[in-house]
Amino acid sequence: MKRSNFVFIVSVLIVVGWCASEVRAQGLPAPSQQAPAAPTLLENKAAKNVTEPCVQPAPMVRLEDYNGPLKKVVGTFARPLERKAVHPPHYEPGVKMCTLKFKDKFALFVQDAFDPVTFLATGFNAGLDQAENTDRNYGQGAEGYGRRFGAEFAGQASSRFFEDFAYPWIFSEDPRYYRLIHGSAGRRLLHALEHAVVAHRNDGKRMFNFSEWLGTTSTVVLSNTYHPDNQRGFAPAAQRVGNSIFQDMGFDVLREFWPEISRKFKLPFRGEPEPVSHDSNPATK
């Protein structure tokens, strides 16, 4: 695992540990702090789509909606996180999230693959590989860095293609992460980690997360074609698959607790507050 990935995951777990302690000690912000009389976006959509038993997720937060210090930096890094996270309508029994169609899954792949954060991460990882002289056949200098950058970007793009589009389409799987929101911090943490194994079908039913495991494996196998110095064999490939899945689990943990982190630092996030009358008995997935 690259040092950058390890540092990122450790940082995520530290933030989540702090956030979880805040949730246990103080609980979520009181509903009275919101506007309880105003209908939420999901309620409005459910009312409008009476003939369609599903609701669309809240719209993506615009960069202009982020305020405070480093608002553009925070918004730039938060959007990829929010893009694959949705709030299920717990307070509407019998109503589910609208499924992603073929074109929606392809659009998700394109947005993730060509997001500015993807290019930043690719450039940083290529610089680490250059410093450590990974893939010696690439050489050094500008040409060597360019080759490493291309290889890193190919890995990022192929991962998004397999996990966001190809396998979700083949297995009728929803590639998004469904936040739990309610429950104890420990239960929500387990829910986030569980997503590496359990996903949702297009019809809302639970299923094995084929896109995570097959997508990651396909990416690792494909990477051997443009990483000539990769160790071949089952054991090295299995280690790279495990490292990648562990990193995805870290991102899912961050997605689950992002609403609390956002509230703490007064940042906007994708999702609507729950109505007061349904807080005590939320539905579970």
- Give the Cα separation of 279 and 90 in Å (integer): 9
CB-based contact 208:199 (threshold 8 Å): yes
Burial readout 7-31 (b: 16 or more C-beta within 10 A, e: otherwise): ebbeebeebbeebbebbeeeebeee
- Give the Cα separation of 109 and 283 in Å (integer): 30
pLDDT tens series, the chain, 285 aa: 444 444 444 454 444 455 545 444 444 444 344 444 444 444 444 444 444 567 787 778 777 777 766 777 777 888 888 889 988 766 566 667 788 999 999 999 999 999 988 999 999 988 998 898 888 888 888 898 999 899 999 999 999 999 999 999 999 999 999 988 888 999 999 999 999 999 999 888 899 999 999 999 999 999 888 887 777 888 888 999 999 999 999 999 999 998 888 888 777 777 654 443 334 344 444
- Give the Cα separation of 216 and 158 in Å (integer): 9
- Give the Cα separation of 106 and 113 in Å (integer): 11
